[in-house]
Amino acid sequence: MKFKRKYLSIPYVLFMVLFVVVPILFIVYYAFTNKGGQFSFTNFVKFFSDSTNVNVLLISFVYAILNTIICLLIGYPIAMILANKKYNKSYVVVLLFIMPMWINFIIRTSATRDVLNWIGLSTGANSGITTMIGLVYNYLPFVILPLYSTMLKMDKSQIEASHDLGANSFQTFFKVIIPMTMPGIVSAATMVFMPTLSSYVISDILSEYNVVLFGSYIDLYFNQSDWNFGSFMALIMLMLIGISVFLTRKFSKDETGGRTSLW
């Protein structure tokens, strides 16, 4: 066989098909079969007939939405300050905001819990608040980075033009800056929303299992060896991800979601 450069991708393609695509097909297969391996809608019926399941999904949505909003509210002004040459000229400060991502996630999360408990905010009694704090604490860096990079790319003269045309700072912010940074907002939101929905370690540690997010719930069923039902819920998760990717694509064209621009 003559060497062609495209043959180089064969190992990669084989690996991806075998360990990314095929496992997803397995999930689909398990989701629509019962324990005996026959095709059935048992899992479908089971999921939607028990209100506990649907409630978990709804509560997860509430936490995910709240987390996204809080992270954006804190992260947006920070990113603005970081991207503004008047306030910050050094990339080191930006790195400082991202640095927590590089310290082990379990240590970070349990440290938050221990400190909260130490200062008297008991994770057992205030599970909702402590879980939120843990979520925000964990996802804030993921919001700051994409927002910061969109703001860096923003054309400053458009803001000047807005002022020149008679808009005050308030109007300029809502009518020019926010729309112009929309791709960054969308990508920041996706970096928080779906991962919150599927997270489970943070809520487990910070609520002493009082708050159960969808990720935890899937994990629970797998641990109880109900693979078919677990697979069905994983499939729901996959579909939600699919929808969010589709929506994100409509708003922004950054295919990596900013995650690779860490270095």
Site for other proteins in 196-235 (CB under 8 A): 197-198, 200-201, 204-205, 215, 218-219, 222, 227, 230-231, 234
Site for other proteins in 122-161 (CB under 8 A): 137, 140-141
Whether residue 229 contacts residue 217, with contact meaning beta carbons closer than 8 Å, is answered with no
- d(CA 81, CA 88) in angstroms, rounded, equals 7
Give φ, ψ of 247 to 5 degrees: -65, -40
Closest CB to other proteins among residues 21, 161: 21
- d(CA 52, CA 65) in angstroms, rounded, equals 20
Q: Does 9 bind other proteins (CB under 8 A)?
A: yes
The three-point CA angle 60-65-71 to 5° equals 120
Q: Does 20 bind other proteins (CB under 8 A)?
A: yes
Q: Does 69 bind other proteins (CB under 8 A)?
A: no
* Nearest one of 98, 142, 130, 102 to 204, comparing CA atoms: 130
Q: Does 39 bind other proteins (CB under 8 A)?
A: no
Tell me how far, at minimum, the Cβ of 73 lies from other proteins, in Å: 12
Q: Does 36 bind other proteins (CB under 8 A)?
A: no
- d(CA 228, CA 234) in angstroms, rounded, equals 10
- d(CA 32, CA 164) in angstroms, rounded, equals 61
- d(CA 146, CA 256) in angstroms, rounded, equals 11
Task: Report how many residues bind other proteins under the rule CB under 8 A.
Answer: 86
Q: Does 245 bind other proteins (CB under 8 A)?
A: yes
Could you give the count of Cα atoms lying within 13 Å of 201 in the half-sphere of its Cβ? Answer: 10
Q: Does 22 bind other proteins (CB under 8 A)?
A: yes
Neighbours of 208 (CB within 10 A): 16
Q: Does 38 bind other proteins (CB under 8 A)?
A: no
Q: Does 260 bind other proteins (CB under 8 A)?
A: yes
Tell me how far, at minimum, the Cβ of 112 lies from other proteins, in Å: 5
Each residue 86-125 as x (binds other proteins by CB under 8 A) or -, in order, gives xxx--xxx-xxx-xxxxxxxxxx-xxxxxx-xx-------
Interface pick for other proteins out of 77, 125, 165, 182 (rule CB under 8 A): 77
Whether residue 156 contacts residue 84, with contact meaning beta carbons closer than 8 Å, is answered with no
Closest CB to other proteins among residues 66, 238: 238
Q: Does 253 bind other proteins (CB under 8 A)?
A: no
Q: Does 74 bind other proteins (CB under 8 A)?
A: yes
Tell me how far, at minimum, the Cβ of 191 lies from other proteins, in Å: 10
The three-point CA angle 153-158-160 to 5° equals 120
